Structure 1
Amino acid sequence: MTELPPQLSNEMVRDEHEKLDPLGDAEECAVKNRAKVGSARPSSLLYTYGPGAIMDLPNFAIMPAGLDDWEMIWKRRDHVPSILEPRLLDVVRLHLGPQVDALRRFPWQPKRMGMSSEGSDLGIPGRVFPQWLRCTGCDYLGPLPRFQYTNTHPFRPDLAQFTHKNCPGRGGSSNKKSGNPAVPAQHLLTCTNGHLDEFPYSLWVHRGKNCPKAEFPDLKMRDANVGKSVGSTIACGSCGQTRGMAEAQGSVGRDKLPQKCRGRHPHLNAFDNGCDARPALIMMGASNLWFASTQSIIVMPRTDAEETEALADRLRAELGVEQVKQFGDQIDVIRALAGAKNIELDGLTDDDIAAAVADVLEPSDSEEVRQEKLAAWDPVDLLVPEWRYLQKPALFPQQQNSSGLMVTEMPRETNLDPKISRVVAVNKMKKVNAVLGFTRLDEMDRVNDLVNRLVKLTRNGKPTWVPATEDRGEGIFLQLDLETVATWEQSILATPLWEAHRAAHRRNFERRFSETAKNVDPDLRLPPPRYWLLHTLSHSLIREMAMSSGYGAASLTERIYGWTSTPQREAAAGLLICTTASDSEGTLGGLVALSEPAHLHRLVVAALRRASRCSSDPVCASRTPSDPEDFLHGAACHCCSFASETSCEKANRFLDRRFLVNLPTATGESVSGFFGSPDDL
């Protein structure tokens, strides 16, 4: 099957950009189309609807644009707010390059109060996508310019829609005056390199050829949910040919699609040259259309070196390397330039500023060195400083810092199981999340793909900043006795149950290996037994805490500190259950109140006893993967252990209640639960 001419799609995209971009720079566009078309929380823009994703609005769908288009939003402000967090920024630079100099907040638009227009020119720029629509009145299927856009009510963005003027209707139900609303055509093409394109409906219905009766034939998309036909049918109004979309599904249907990807990035309004991946059919609402690649940290009190690095990041972002280089030996000038950019330097000595200037001017690592560091990087590296800080309770009273972290060592209730060695109340915390990019079809962390598989956020692939959010909240940290965990872990490694989980993980890894992934040993990606233990305990506590904290279970999230010792880091066995919000000053204290000794003991006992029972037992309690099964959990299911996607950091993988408490199994294989028999609790 032949491809669509690139010129046609370029014209469509350009026409859409000029006429329909609500935040276009052209004055004639800005006057008519600056009204917003929807809203979203910062957390959803980070994890669900970021650049390159498709956001389904009430009447059409949009795609948040790439970072190049965000620049024209920020240029309307004299000062661009950023988040200063050197530890996270270093990780972003490691992945995307040394040119990244800032973590920027989303351009938030506050609610209008009275006659104020403050914030009316802010917001996330987006493009209409898919750009092929279907009329709900007559089933006409056509590109965006064939429909009319209306959004006349400034306070009702949900009324924005595309209509088919002069719609003839079907069966005499004509609505030529106002037209009938149009909805997005659901079918798209994508590839493992992250490109996304419209489905070539005209070439599809004509089986790769042009229509013999018209150069640009009118098409119709009819739903056929009765009889033997499944899904939609495309019909040509000029020559009468028809073809069902069901033919394009599956591996057989993929052979009937274009054999070469055009390399389109709708969020960038651009095409890549030389994509060698085969396109696949995907529906607009498919869950594998967009996978965010993010990194997050909990902000810790900074060392002197980190404070210097934070100031250097600010100078680099606000003044620019060239200006710092020009006036670097004139500290007074640097102070004046920084003051003009609202950079606070009061209390800093000339030596402090000179150290920050030297940090700005220090040459970056070569690309070869950066790639070597990236190959050796482990996401656990972000958790190590947090674990180490929580191991030093002597530092907790010294919390006169700007990190937003306030933690308190809590006394242990005498009856609390001694295997839980420490309890820390996280009264206040701040979590910073940054976007690195996204992937399509295959999630990044499941297959250990090459970093260059991340879809770029800018046209040149080298962003100078990335979007980030700053969440505030509270939590509870529990630490297990490290020696007891190590002894228990050694006993688990020799069991048939662990060998079954290990074999299932290998099968899962090999079957879901991405087309662009690099070869790695699957065993290196399998978390150790202590992680399974902590992860299962975390889910049990989340379910129990949701009943007492005042927060829903979906509002609670986990952060697992579970790894064995290596030459680079000491062993860890702890978990943090927290709740954070990105659009408020914090949370209400209902979660941290559960760290009180009496409350926590009751909660832990109730969680472990509840984990010993499941309405799906004995099936759940004895679930063990065997060839050819490849699921990544054991005695765990929706009835007893699974949590919502917003709560779990591993998508409900690596869970087994048998590691937590002793459970009877149908096969008679006994596994020693870390907390023993639930009757002894």
Structure 2
Amino acid sequence: MLHDRTEALDPLADAEDGVVKNRAKVGSARPSSLLYTYGPGAIMDLPGFSVMPAGLDDWEPIWKRRPFIPSIIEPRLLNVVRLHLGPQVDGLRPFPWQPKKGAMSKEGDDLGIPSRVFPQLFRCTGCDFLGPLPRFSYANTHPFRPDLAQFTHKNCPGRGRQRAGSTARKRESPAVPAQHLLTCANGHLDEFPYALWVHRGGKCPRAELPDLKMRDANVGKSVGSTIQCASCGATRGMAEAQGGVGRDKLPQKCRGRHPHLNAFDAECDARPALIMMGASNLWFASTQSIIVMPRTDAEEKEALADRLRVELGVEQVQQFGAQVDVIRALAIAKHIDMAGITDDDVVAAVADVLAPADSEAERHEKLAAWDPVDLLVPEWRYLQKPSLFPQQQNSSGLMVTEMQRGLELHERIGRVVAVNQMKKINAVLGFTRLDEMDRVNDLVSRLVKLARTGKPTWVPATEDRGEGIFLQLDSAAVDGWEQGILASPLWDAHKEAHRRNFSRRFSETAKLVDPDTRLPAPRYWLLHSLSHALIREMAMSSGYGAASLTERIYGWSASPQREAAAGLLICTTASDSEGTLGGLVALSEPARLQGLVVSALRRASRCSSDPVCAMRTPSDPEDFLHGAACHCCSFASETSCEKANRFLDRRFLLNLPTATGDTVSGFFGSVDAL
């Protein structure tokens, strides 16, 4: 969506019927891409320009167009969001979208994601003029072609020199965003100061606000673009701003700008760095997800409290909390299902809503002790109880079936569970720039705020449905194998590489964390490598592309808080449909699965980059977080891997040679024995 910088963001501000004017809609995206790729603070590249989804404050007027705001009720995930962002978060909301009944109907036309044009410095493709947004004209008049929206430079003189007295007609040339930006490790993002750059930190001697030109370098001359001042003739190449040497020539103080919030932070102690508009490290989403499990009685009461908190509000619950009948009537009016809810349940829910929240000190203490694995433990425990499967509550969206093990299935795979139906909920906590927080499981203080106050009352979430296959390895065999790996030189090399990788992060808060506490155990590497091998093999038999399959690894050692786990779930989900077609869960049939596992392991035993790949071991100064794994044999797409292709090594699966000539004991032994 677009807006005038002096007005509030509003997707319908210029969509009047029967009037030819610029329309608000400039594009669309799937919920999953808005969650993981183009959320608030990210740059979405459109055909003619780019926009940045705004912060959550600007979404409120959009939601108020509906009599009630939809919400996703999942207490387990909401509690984690509150732990990270504060107790004021009262709900998870889907993206403002509504399906249409017909192609020409207008349901949902008043909903959308408000966005800002960013960057707001443009370059004319006809004359190379570089200037701010108001110097260009905007056109978006076609009701069904938002892709035609663009900015143009009227009266563009072109690149040729006009003779004095020439009457040649000037043209209107398209304009494109200037690609260079400044960012810092604290998540700020700003326009590149081209005027200061070309004048080497000073002012133009001939004009207070000089016109600039951005010329692309000719082949063979220099790398990057050249900035030229039209008033004084000063020129400077953008190549000088690149790298460590170039960073010293940039402004040494960050202005603290958050374009998605249209605001500035008062102070920022980080140094700016040059970044290109399409760089992959410009925006990293920080998300948490859960698989919806059948709720216990306690969780059902907690869910009712969440609904009352969201739909009625704390003030209304406080006002009528002593009157159960009134609370019940208000809840029914807000479309809350009260069937089977007793008066005692209502009283307990009201007490939960009105209970005092933890203090900030208590919340930060709990957050310091929190581990992302805590979200996986209930799922693992449920999958360990086949006796619960026949009585499963289908209202949760989960339907699983214990499968018979094939006689020829590898003996170290202990159990197979078909996940016929599942529902997965994903919520965004914030984002980082330059370096992904999950890369080192960094401190939560690195997250860029989603609202101007830094304390949102809700966060965006998606609800996905799909299917999958769960495999559990033999626990005793994993324990014995892991002890051997921990004493091997290969594991020592991986541990040292992880320490080097940790210390070289852009994040300033990473130095406050012990890197050894963030290195996954060998069993995680084993399960992760096996998962990637199976994803590649299943993609050829399930009817889904490899990028549509995702993994969920249950791999942690025993601790006082939880029992050990060694299993993996490969699933496919979609947020804009009622589920999937069953092609993946069909592979859990014993005859098909045992052949698929053997084939996957045999493919993993060789790589077109062997022997280089099979013997790859990080050594100082290398800091890569994988061993015998590469794009040819193990790496998966970003949509499939939960660790961005880190913590992979085929030598943990099978006996492969190492750089020193000896072999590490692979969990599944020799490929010849398969």
Does the 8 Å CA contact 2:302/2:352 hold for their aligned counterparts?
yes
Alignment of 1:491-510 (within 5 A): 491-510=484-503
Does the 8 Å CA contact 1:621/1:658 hold for their aligned counterparts?
yes
Q: How far has the Cα of 1:626 moved from its partner?
A: 1.6
Correspondent of 2:616 among 619, 623, 632: 623
Does the 8 Å CA contact 1:15/1:145 hold for their aligned counterparts?
no
RMSD between aligned residues: 1.9
- Matches of 2:371 and 2:611, distance apart in 1: 38
Q: How far has the Cα of 1:478 moved from its partner?
A: 0.2
3-state DSSP of counterpart to 1:352: helix
3-state DSSP of counterpart to 1:83: coil
- Matches of 1:679 and 1:515, distance apart in 2: 48
What is the match of residue 394 of structure 1?
Answer: 387
Q: How far has the Cα of 1:536 moved from its partner?
A: 0.6
Alpha-carbon deviations, 1:122-150, whole Å to 9, x = none? Answer: 11110000000000010000000000100
- Matches of 1:392 and 1:518, distance apart in 2: 41
Match status 1:529 vs 2:522? yes
Does the 8 Å CA contact 1:18/1:24 hold for their aligned counterparts?
no
What is the match of residue 356 of structure 1?
Answer: 349
Match status 1:379 vs 2:368? no
Does the 8 Å CA contact 1:16/1:144 hold for their aligned counterparts?
no
3-state DSSP of counterpart to 2:600: helix
- Structure 1 residue runs of 5 or longer lacking an equivalent are 1-13
CA change 1:176–1:63 in 2 (3 A) is farther
CA change 1:233–1:199 in 2 (3 A) is same
What is the match of residue 55 of structure 1?
Answer: 44
Q: How far has the Cα of 1:110 moved from its partner?
A: 3.2
Report which stretch shifted further, 586-595 or 109-118: 109-118
Report which stretch shifted further, 217-226 or 592-601: 217-226
- Matches of 1:205 and 1:653, distance apart in 2: 41
Q: How far has the Cα of 1:16 moved from its partner?
A: 3.8
Q: How far has the Cα of 1:180 moved from its partner?
A: 0.6
Alpha-carbon deviations, 1:338-362, whole Å to 9, x = none? Answer: 1221111122111111111111011
Q: How far has the Cα of 1:33 moved from its partner?
A: 4.4
Q: How many residues align?
A: 668
Correspondent of 1:17 among 2, 5, 30: 5
Does the 8 Å CA contact 1:168/1:175 hold for their aligned counterparts?
no
Does the 8 Å CA contact 1:625/1:631 hold for their aligned counterparts?
yes
What is the match of residue 416 of structure 1?
Answer: 409
3-state DSSP of counterpart to 1:577: strand
3-state DSSP of counterpart to 2:239: helix
Match status 1:230 vs 2:237? no
Q: How far has the Cα of 1:638 moved from its partner?
A: 1.1
CA change 1:30–1:285 in 2 (3 A) is farther
What is the match of residue 44 of structure 1?
Answer: 33
- Percent identity at matched positions? 82
Q: How far has the Cα of 1:22 moved from its partner?
A: 5.7
Does the 8 Å CA contact 1:96/1:436 hold for their aligned counterparts?
yes
Q: What is the one-letter code of the residue matched to 1:656? A: D
Q: How far has the Cα of 1:446 moved from its partner?
A: 2.1
- Matches of 1:318 and 1:283, distance apart in 2: 43
Alignment of 1:178-197 (within 5 A): 179-197=172-190
Q: What is the one-letter code of the residue matched to 1:313? A: D
Match status 1:80 vs 2:73? no
- Matches of 1:275 and 1:676, distance apart in 2: 53
Report which stretch shifted further, 217-226 or 477-486: 217-226
Match status 1:564 vs 2:553? no
Correspondent of 1:455 among 428, 448, 452: 448
CA change 1:201–1:71 in 2 (3 A) is same
Alpha-carbon deviations, 1:487-516, whole Å to 9, x = none? Answer: 111111111111111111111111225223
Alpha-carbon deviations, 1:234-263, whole Å to 9, x = none? Answer: 111111111111111122222221111111
Correspondent of 2:603 among 597, 610, 632: 610
Does the 8 Å CA contact 2:12/2:24 hold for their aligned counterparts?
no
- Matches of 2:160 and 2:250, distance apart in 1: 34
3-state DSSP of counterpart to 1:517: helix
Q: What is the one-letter code of the residue matched to 1:160? A: A
Q: How far has the Cα of 1:555 moved from its partner?
A: 0.6
What is the match of residue 263 of structure 1?
Answer: 256
Alpha-carbon deviations, 1:323-374, whole Å to 9, x = none? Answer: 1011111001001111221111122111111111111011110110000000
What is the match of residue 480 of structure 2?
Answer: 487
- Matches of 1:633 and 1:555, distance apart in 2: 23
Correspondent of 1:546 among 509, 527, 539: 539
3-state DSSP of counterpart to 2:391: coil
Alignment of 1:257-336 (within 5 A): 257-336=250-329
Q: How far has the Cα of 1:668 moved from its partner?
A: 1.9
Alpha-carbon deviations, 1:436-477, whole Å to 9, x = none? Answer: 000111111223433222111001011000000001000000
- Matches of 1:391 and 1:408, distance apart in 2: 12
What is the match of residue 191 of structure 2?
Answer: 198
TM-score by length of 2: 0.96
Q: What is the one-letter code of the residue matched to 1:331? A: V
Q: What is the one-letter code of the residue matched to 2:282? A: L
Q: How far has the Cα of 1:611 moved from its partner?
A: 1.0
- Matches of 2:308 and 2:102, distance apart in 1: 35
Q: How far has the Cα of 1:118 moved from its partner?
A: 1.1
CA change 1:334–1:176 in 2 (3 A) is farther
Q: What is the one-letter code of the residue matched to 2:108? A: G
Match status 1:573 vs 2:566? yes
CA change 1:15–1:546 in 2 (3 A) is closer
Does the 8 Å CA contact 1:562/1:572 hold for their aligned counterparts?
yes
- Matches of 1:175 and 1:672, distance apart in 2: 78
Does the 8 Å CA contact 1:21/1:33 hold for their aligned counterparts?
no
- Matches of 2:356 and 2:17, distance apart in 1: 44
Q: How far has the Cα of 1:667 moved from its partner?
A: 2.6
Does the 8 Å CA contact 1:188/1:197 hold for their aligned counterparts?
yes
Alpha-carbon deviations, 1:182-203, whole Å to 9, x = none? Answer: 0000011111111111111111
Q: How far has the Cα of 1:114 moved from its partner?
A: 5.2
Report which stretch shifted further, 474-483 or 15-24: 15-24
CA change 1:177–1:240 in 2 (3 A) is closer
Q: What is the one-letter code of the residue matched to 2:181? A: L
- Matches of 1:515 and 1:175, distance apart in 2: 57
- Structure 2 residue runs of 5 or longer lacking an equivalent are none
- Matches of 1:604 and 1:329, distance apart in 2: 60
CA change 1:518–1:395 in 2 (3 A) is same
Correspondent of 2:653 among 647, 656, 660: 660
Alpha-carbon deviations, 1:302-336, whole Å to 9, x = none? Answer: 01111111110110011111110111110010011
Q: What is the one-letter code of the residue matched to 1:573? A: A
Correspondent of 1:105 among 94, 97, 114: 94
What is the match of residue 116 of structure 2?
Answer: 127
Does the 8 Å CA contact 1:556/1:647 hold for their aligned counterparts?
yes
- Matches of 2:401 and 2:597, distance apart in 1: 19
What is the match of residue 640 of structure 2?
Answer: 647
Q: What is the one-letter code of the residue matched to 1:101? A: D
- Matches of 2:32 and 2:207, distance apart in 1: 48
What is the match of residue 236 of structure 2?
Answer: 243
Report which stretch shifted further, 105-114 or 177-186: 105-114
Q: What is the one-letter code of the residue matched to 1:75? A: K
Alpha-carbon deviations, 1:510-551, whole Å to 9, x = none? Answer: 122522335222111111111111011100100100010000
3-state DSSP of counterpart to 1:166: strand
Does the 8 Å CA contact 2:503/2:511 hold for their aligned counterparts?
no
3-state DSSP of counterpart to 2:274: strand
